[in-house]
Amino acid sequence: MGSTHDLPVPPFYAFAGAFAALFVSFLGLGLLWSVSRFRGDRSGRALPARVQRAADARPLRAALRGLGSAACLFVVLHLVLGPDDPARNPAAGAVHVLFWVGLLPASVLLGPVWRLLNPLRALHALLPRRPAAVRPLPPRLGMRPAAAGLLAFTWLELASPHPASRASLLAFLTLHTVVHLACAARYGERWFTHADPFEAYSTLLARLSPFGRRADGLLVLRHPLHGLDSTPPTPGLVATVCVLLGSTAYDGIRDTPAWITTLQTSPLGRTATATLGLVSAVALVATLYCLCAGATRLLSGPLAHPLGAFAHSLVPIALGYLVAHYATLLVTEGPRTVIMALGADDPPPAAPPLSHGGIAALQIGAVVTGHVLGVVAAHDRAVRLFPPHRAVVGQLPLFALMIVYTLGGIGLLVA
């Protein structure tokens, strides 16, 4: 959903420009950036005290939680009582466009907004609880449940036979609610922070927000790459980012003529083949990153967190892919969904705000910018972790990986 093919950009120029941008960035960083400059959650200028008080005020947080719950109730009522026709029921657009895609700009601009809106937190607060029965989260669990949840949602969106039907959406939302409320009853509210897939998605994207929290708890205005550097190497971080990258890559693959033919002729059936394609895309992205991490360790020496040390550098790459594939979808289908929610029957989608060439420039620019930011983030981490004579050499596997990801991403756009 949301990918664009046959863009009016000659593939040679797209590939050459992307490679040149990455190469110049890597070379310039190696020559001019010899000391780590990012300070993670120790950076940022504190916002005025009245802004801090307003942001942390209980009435505001209660209002936001109520807003999220009301929006969820609106979707559920339309799924239960509305027509089973996505052209006349705004529920599917609300989930797949306004929620899933809309969380991207909201989180990047404002911070981890889903943590404040999450209706499951509101439900958990209303349920009877026994504090003595709450157990600490297993340290090795990390974000792995979030990665599994994101894979389940992207399967619903990209591989299930009826992603927009009332039955499919109700089944997913019911299972999601039951599982996470049961786990929160066992592990407490911290479960949502680590394991809710949509909180993980929003929080990762919010690492690139100009707003964030310092280690002392103050709300600050900071450089987005400082926020990115504060991403902890939590278990499951690599899996979560690879699900975002791999599922977006599969979204580009599934609309190509070759893959459509494969789906139509596969003896496994359409759904099984699509599922295999989605899982394979995620597995390929993860395998390439793990190989890269192993090569980096061989070249530069042991690391405390060999897989997680550079996983944060994949976040801007995932953001670039998401913008390239879904920006047009949000601005065309988003208003249509809102109009349907207000009572209109099957309104036409809005016209794209850019020409075909403008969309091409936006998509390729998003992919390349994401990879350049990834190169910068990886380089700063490398000069912090490795001795000076090994820092640049240790980045070569990461640089090669980003070239592969970039060429693959652009290839899907211009295919």
The Cα–Cα gap between 54 and 45 comes to: 17
Chunked in runs of 10, what are the mean pLDDT values of the chain (415 residues)? 52 81 89 90 92 92 94 94 88 95 95 95 87 82 95 96 93 96 92 94 96 92 94 93 94 88 91 96 94 87 81 93 90 90 79 78 89 93 86 86 87 73
Of 103, 94, 53, the C-alpha closest to 71 is: 94
Q: Are the beta carbons of 101 and 329 closer than 8 angstroms?
A: yes
Instruction: For the chain, report the end-to-end CA distance as a whole number of angstroms.
Output: 16
Q: DSSP per residue over 336-373, as a string?
A: HHHHHHTT-SSPPPPPPSS-HHHHHHHHHHHHHHHHHH
Question: Which residues are 213's β-sheet partners?
Answer: 219
Residue 145 — φ and ψ, nearest 5°? Answer: -60, -35
Q: Are the beta carbons of 237 and 143 closer than 8 angstroms?
A: yes
Q: Are the beta carbons of 198 and 192 closer than 8 angstroms?
A: no
pLDDT at 9: 61
Q: Are the beta carbons of 364 and 356 closer than 8 angstroms?
A: no
Question: What's the 3-state SS for 152-218?
Answer: HHHHHHHCCCCCCCHHHHHHHHHHHHHHHHHHHHHHCCHHHHHHCHHHHHHHHHHCCCCEEECCCCC
Determine the residue type at 224: P
Q: Are the beta carbons of 231 and 237 closer than 8 angstroms?
A: yes
The Cα–Cα gap between 142 and 76 comes to: 30
pLDDT at 415: 63
Determine the residue type at 289: Y
